Amino acid sequence: MTASPFDTILPSFGEKESADGRTDDKEMADSSDDDQRQKPHAILIPYPLQGHVIPAVHLAVKLASRGFTVTFLNTHSVHHQISRAHHNDPTDDIFAAVRRQRSLDIRYSTLSDGLPLSFDRSLHHDQFMASLLHVFSAHVEEAVGRIVGSPDSRRVRFLVADTFFVWPSTVARKFGLAYVSFWTEPALVFSLYYHMDLLRINGHFDCQSANCRDDPIDYIPGIKAIEPKDMASYLQDTDTSSVCHQIISSSFKDVKSADFIICNTVEELEPETISALKAVQPFYSIGPIVPEGASKGTVATSLWAESDCTQWLNTRPRGSVLYVSFGSYAHTSRADLAEIAHGLRLSGVSFVWVMRPDIVSSEEADPLPDGYKDSLGGGSIIVTWCSQFEVLAHAAVGGFLTHCGWNSIIESMWNGVPLICFPLLTDQFTNRKLVVHDWKAGINLTERREITREEVAEKVRRLMNGDSGGLFRDNIREVKKKLAGALMPDGSSVRNMDQFVNDLTNKIDQRGSGTGGLNPNG
Ligand code: UDX
C-alpha cells in the first residue's frame, strides 16, 4: 500500500485471523503536517449494513470536504464483502481514490463485529444483531481508544455514530468526545421511535393485541396524525422482546444524550416533524446525502458485485423501463416473488430487476419460477446487484418498484423517478406513507398483505403508461426540486450543515478551553 500523508490508520488485512475471525487493527505513524493537525478529527462508525454504510461514506466525504479529518471504521465483515464485490485487494483502502483526487483527510480502519468473517449474517440475522447489541461496543472501545491514544490524539474531538447503536454516549463520554448521532431514515420515523413511551402509554405500542388501539396517533409533537399501520414494523409488533426491539429501545434512550443529531432528510419535506424535534434536541436536516457530482461517487460501497446495466438501458426508449429492487436487508417470500415475476411479465413493461442472492434466504439459490429468466428473452433483465444510483439516473428508467428503503426513496426522488411501493420491514411502511400519502409521488402495490399477479400488472401499467403516471411524475418533480434546492448554496441543508459545523466547533472549542484538551470524563 502506498503511503500518503493521510495513511495514518490502515486496516490490518493480511494479518493472521484468529479463531473467532477477528483481526486486530494496526496503526501506522502519523505524518500529517502541522496545518492539518489543527483540524478537529472525527471517528465515524456506520451500522454494518449496506443501507447505512452508503450514506455514512457520503457523509464522511462531506465532512472531510468541510476540512475535518475523518477516520471511518468499517467492520471486517463489511470491508471484506466490499473487497470481494469489487475484486479489490483486501488490503485496499476504499477511500484511497477520493483522498488522492480531492486531497481529503479521510483515514480508514476496520474492526470486528464480534463474529467470524465466514458467519452468514443474513441467514442468522438475530445472532448478528445480538452481537452488535452485546459484543460490538467492546471492539469499538478498543479501536477508539487506540485512535485517541495515537500521536495526534489531541485532534480527535467527536464521534459520529449511527443512531441505532446502543453505546455511543458511553464511548464518547469515556474518551471525552462530542457525540453526533447520524440518523439515516426520515425525521418522521425518528420521531415515532423517540416518542415510544408516549405510544406505549396511549396503547399504540407494546400492548396485548386485544387492547391495542387502532385509531390514528395524533398526540406526538410535530406529527399531525398517523395510522398505526404506517408506523415502522417494529412499533406494530405485539411481541416486543426481540433483539431488534432491545436495540431500538436502548438506542433511543442513548440518543437522548447525543450532543447533535444529523439526519438524512430535507426540511421542506418534513417541516413540522423537524421543527418539533429541534425544540427538544439539536437536530439538523442535512440531506439528501448523495454522492457529490453527477455519478455514483468514487468510493466502493456495494456489498455485492455490480452488473453494468448501462449498455442494455441505452437500447431502451426514454422512460420505458421499470427498475425493481427490494434493497439490501429485508427478505420476501417465494410466493410473493412468483406473483411479482408473473405480474411484471403480464404488464408488458420492460424491467431491470435486482435479485439479491439472499432475497428469500441465502439457502434458496434460485427462488424464481422455473424457466422464468429464459422466458424474458432480451426484453427485460435480472441482475444480482447494480449501481442503483446510476440506473435511476438513466433516461430510460421511468418508474421504480421498491421496498421503500429510505436511500432508495431519496435516490429515486433525486432523479425524479416515481414509485410503486411494496414495504417489507422496519421504516419502509412509514416511508411509503410519506411517498404515497404526503407527497403523492407514487402508488401502493397493494392495500392488503397478499399480492396477486393481476394487481402487480395493473399497478405497473398505471405508473408507466396511464394518465395517473403523468401526475406522479409531476409530483415527484416537485419533490426533486425541493431536494435540489436544499443543496443550493443558500438551501436549507447547506445552511443546516453550516450551523451544525459551527455549533459543533463551538462545543469542541468550549471543551478544549475548559480542560486544556481532552476531558476523559466528558
Ligand atoms: C434499510 C431501511 O429500510 C432503510 O430505510 C435504511 O435507511 C437502511 O436500511 P435497505 O434495504 O438497505 O434499507 O434499502 P435502502 O435504504 O434503499 O438502501 C439500499 C442501498 O443500496 C441504496 O443506497 C441503493 O442505491 C443501494 N443499492 C441497492 C445498490 O447500489 N444496488 C442495488 O442493486 C440495490
> What's the pLDDT score for residue 208?
82
The reply to whether ligand 1 has any atom less than 6 angstroms from the CB of 230 is no
CA 328 – ligand 1 centroid, Å:
5
Q: Which amino acid is at 186?
A: P
What does DSSP say about strands 156-162 and 260-263: parallel, antiparallel, or unpaired?
unpaired
Torsion angle of C-alpha atoms 119, 120, 122, 124, degrees rounded to 10: -70
Residue with CA at minimum distance from ligand 1 atom 12: 51
Q: Is 389 in the pocket of ligand 1 (CB under 6 A)?
A: yes
Question: Which of 49, 50, 302 has most ligand 1 atoms within 8 Å of CB, for mutation?
Answer: 50
**Contact call for residues 199 and 391 (beta carbons, < 8 A):** no
Query: Angle, to 10 degrees, between the axis of helix 187-194 and the axis of helix 243-254?
Result: 90
CA-CA-CA-CA torsion sign (303, 284, 183, 67)? positive
The per-residue pLDDT for 295 is 63
- Check residue 4 and report its DSSP letter: -
Q: Ligand 1: which residue has its CA nearest to atom 26? A: 388
51 lines ligand 1 (CB under 6 A): yes
Q: Which residue has the cell 483502502?
A: 93
pLDDT value at residue 522: 31
Quick one: pLDDT at residue 292? 78
Whole-Å CA distances, 415 to 212, 323, 412: 40, 13, 5
405 Cα–ligand 1 center, Å: 6
DSSP class of residue 433 equals I
**Backbone phi and psi for residue 433, each to the nearest 5 degrees, phi listed first:** -60, -40
Residue whose CA lies nearest to ligand 1 atom number 4: 405
- Collapsing DSSP to helix, strand or coil, 181 comes out as strand
Rg of the chain on CA atoms, in Å = 23
Looking at ligand 1, which residue's alpha carbon is closest to its atom 18?
Answer: 51
Cell triple for 178: 462530542
**Which residue is it, cell 427462488?**
367
Q: What average pLDDT values come out for the chain (522 residues) when binned by 10 residues?
A: 34 35 37 57 98 97 95 98 94 93 94 98 98 98 96 87 98 97 98 98 90 95 97 96 98 98 98 98 97 76 97 97 97 96 98 97 93 94 97 97 98 97 98 97 90 97 87 95 97 98 94 50 32
* Domain architecture of the chain: domains with CATH: 6-184 (3.40.50.2000), 310-483 (3.40.50.2000)
Q: Please state, in angstroms and rounded to a whole number, the distance separating the CA atoms of residues 79 and 124.
A: 19
Give the contacts of 338 (CB within 8 A, at least 6 positions apart): 368, 369
- Looking at residue 513, what is its pLDDT? 64
Ligand 1: atom nearest CA of 329 is: 11
Substitution candidate for ligand 1 out of 388, 419, 428, 435 with most atoms within 8 A of CB: 388
pTM over 0.85: yes
Q: How far is ligand 1, taken at its centre, from the CA of residue 50, in Å?
A: 6
Q: Are 349 and 459 a contacting pair, CB within 8 Å?
A: no
**Would you report the helix, strand and coil content of the chain in percent, each value rounded to 5?**
45, 15, 45
- Which atom of ligand 1 approaches the CA of 325 most closely? 34
Tell me the CA distances in angstroms from 342 to 280, 333, 424, 451, one per residue in order: 49, 14, 19, 11
* pLDDT value at residue 152: 74
Query: Ligand 1 centre from 408 Cα, in Å?
Result: 6
Supply the residue whose CA is at minimum distance from atom 29 of ligand 1. Answer: 388
Measured CA angle at 409 (ends 214, 123), to 5 deg = 75
Query: How far is CA 192 from its chain centroid?
Result: 18
